[in-house]
Amino acid sequence: MDSSRALPVLMYHHVSPQPGLVTVAPETFRDQIARLAKAGWRTMGLDAVERFFAGEPIPEKTCIITFDDGYLDNMVHAAPVLRAAGMKGVVFTVTGWMGDGPPRSGKLETPAHRVCKTRIAGGDSDSVIMRWREAEQLQSTGVFEFHSHTHTHTRWDKTIADEAGRRSALAEDLNSSRSALASHLGIASRHLCWPQGHYDKLYLEVAKGSGLDHLYTTEPCVNLPNGSTARIGRFVTKDKPGGWVLQRTWLYSSPLLGKLYSLIRSS
């Protein structure tokens, strides 16, 4: 079996009937996953990412499907599609937004991104974010695995001017997230997705000191074997037909074409 030459990592936020800038409609997501599956693409968890960057072979046509923040609509609309296709997703969850309580069922509200942000800011994250017991169920079925998107989703570089204070606050944020994942889901994760994709030298130092050494950005760079795990690139998905996502996934699986495409986009 041929090995993957470059590893495409897809970035989603919402899958909801309220499509927009960071939201894909359920029917669009279904088409995108169906096109990937029909073309022979498979998904894996982040253990495959670790092997890939360590130079170990993983099958060609492997991609990673990620979701940021941990929205309830990922459970309602994305999980059934992935399960039916025999695929899995990775949720980078904001652990401080996740609450306790029983798993929910039936017809659940999945509001637009703007509404979600307003509710979270107002202290009502439970109505739009997955609960711990829901995450536990999804993890046990293998359809999702969960990793860190920090505990508070705070941009400390914008909040604290003092470097020492910023370093301390970020370290507490990351350690709290890792502790929550370990306590609720039994995960000792090495993987972190930066809020808004932001990182700098201080952020990288603190992450490494907190045991997080596989760091995901919003940059659509090409991921190569033996490459740096401090800057794992992802490309943004859009509410476009499955052929669009299939083409982008194919581009970022090619070291040459992916680099050329990224250069064209940044020029």
Report the percentage of the chain scoring pLDDT > 90.
91
Query: What mean pLDDT is predicted for residues 68-85?
Result: 98
Token look-up 């941990």 returns 70
Cβ(145)–Cβ(130) under 8 Å?
no
Confidence of residue 266 (pLDDT cuts 50, 70, 90): low
pLDDT at 264 over 80: no
Where residue 98 falls (left for φ over 0; alpha for ψ -120 to 50; beta otherwise) is: beta
**Cβ-Cβ contacts under 8 Å for 88 (sequence gap 6 or more):** 43, 44, 45, 65, 82, 142, 143, 144, 145
> For 196, left (φ over 0), alpha (ψ -120 to 50), or beta?
left
| Positive or negative: CA dihedral 32, 138, 74, 194 | negative
In this predicted structure, what is the pLDDT of residue 229? 97
Instruction: Match 């795990």 to its residue by tokens.
Output: 229
Sole residue written with tokens 């050494």: 213
Q: Is the Cβ–Cβ distance between 104 and 134 less than 8 Å?
A: yes
Q: In the predicted model, is pLDDT for residue 267 greater than 70?
A: no
Q: Average the pLDDT over 72-92 and give the result.
A: 98
- Give residue-wise pLDDT tens across range 2-61: 667 999 999 999 999 988 889 999 999 999 999 999 999 999 999 999 999 999 999 999
The DSSP annotation for 132-186 comes to HHHHHHHHHHTSEEEEES-SS---HHHH--SHHHHHHHHHHHHHHHHHHHHHHH-
Token readout for 139 is 């993890």
Cα separation, 178 vs 60, whole angstroms:
31
CATH superfamily of 9-266: Glycoside hydrolase/deacetylase (3.20.20.370)
Average pLDDT of the segment spanning 153-162? 96
Q: pLDDT per residue over 49-66, tens digit each?
A: 999 999 999 999 999 999
Domain ranges of the chain: 9-266
pLDDT at 69: 98
- Using pLDDT thresholds of 50, 70 and 90, give the confidence band for residue 1: very low
What confidence tens digit (pLDDT) does each residue in 84-113 have? 999 999 999 999 999 999 999 999 999 999
**Continuous segment of H or E residues that includes residue 53:** helix 46-53
Output the pTM of the full model. 0.95
State the average pLDDT over residues 176-196. 96
* Res 72: pLDDT: 98
Pair of tokens at residue 161: 């001017």
